[in-house]
Amino acid sequence: MSFTVMLSKLSEGMITSVLIFTLTLLISLPLGLVVALARISKNKPLSAFTRIYISIMRGTPLMLQLLVVYFGPYYLFRIPLASGYRFWAVILAFSINYAAYFAEIYRGGIESMPIGQYEAARVLGYSESQIFLKIILPQVFKRIIPSITNEVITLIKDTSLAFSIAVTEMFTVAKAIASSERTMVSYIAAGIFYYVFNFIVAFVMERIEKKLNYYH
């Protein structure tokens, strides 16, 4: 196999990896905020439910969650699996897993805000929703950017776990090429891709962090 053909095959897997990464972020970031708000809610049953959900998601391997989400509908409810469900099972499993991690990051940021800011905003006549959306949330985002960046970088590397349910992302393609051609070149190319992708994401997140740095 020529190097050009190898790169062409790897690029197909790269597109899948980028799609998994992008869709997971688009779903898990807002979902994580919703879960965090439920976690700190004064509604005890809701808070307890989200606590259990977060505990399960953080306490079990992502690969196991992928297998449960993919095979669960059939083995538990005898629902036949559509051909396109494999990819969306990856997105669902990744999203609910990372939402749990993001929820704890959001919760930590929200609970770190001084109580005086809430009290001052109420004195100025802000409603509870205005206080959260206009005063608290922007500051929370600024505080949690480094932690969010770490999780985002981990997500890039975790996309390789999609191979466990035979989704042909970058790592799966690289492994197939290495097996058939008996060469490490595809692994090296995949490693370079992951590194460059991580570098770009880290750079973008750093720029966002600097823009949110009010004291810069």
Give how far Cα 168 sits from Cα of 6, 23, 42, 98, 186, Å.
14, 16, 44, 21, 14
* 2, two tokens: 């020529």
Reading the chain (216 residues) residue by residue, the pLDDT tens digits are 676 777 788 888 889 999 999 999 999 999 999 999 999 998 999 999 999 999 999 999 999 999 999 999 988 888 888 878 999 999 999 999 999 999 999 999 988 888 888 888 888 888 888 888 888 888 888 889 989 999 999 999 999 899 888 888 888 888 888 888 787 888 888 889 899 999 999 999 888 888 877 544
Alpha helices (H) along the chain: 3-39, 44-59, 62-77, 85-111, 115-123, 128-130, 137-158, 170-181, 185-211
Do residues 39 and 103 make contact, with C-beta atoms less than 8 angstroms apart? yes
> Is the pTM of the predicted complex or chain greater than 0.85?
yes
* Fold of the CATH domain 3-211: MetI-like fold (1.10.3720)
The span from the CA of 159 to the CA of 26, in Å, is 15
Residue found under tokens 């297998």: 67
The span from the CA of 194 to the CA of 189, in Å, is 9
Q: Write down the domain spans for the chain.
A: 3-211
* 85, two tokens: 């469900």
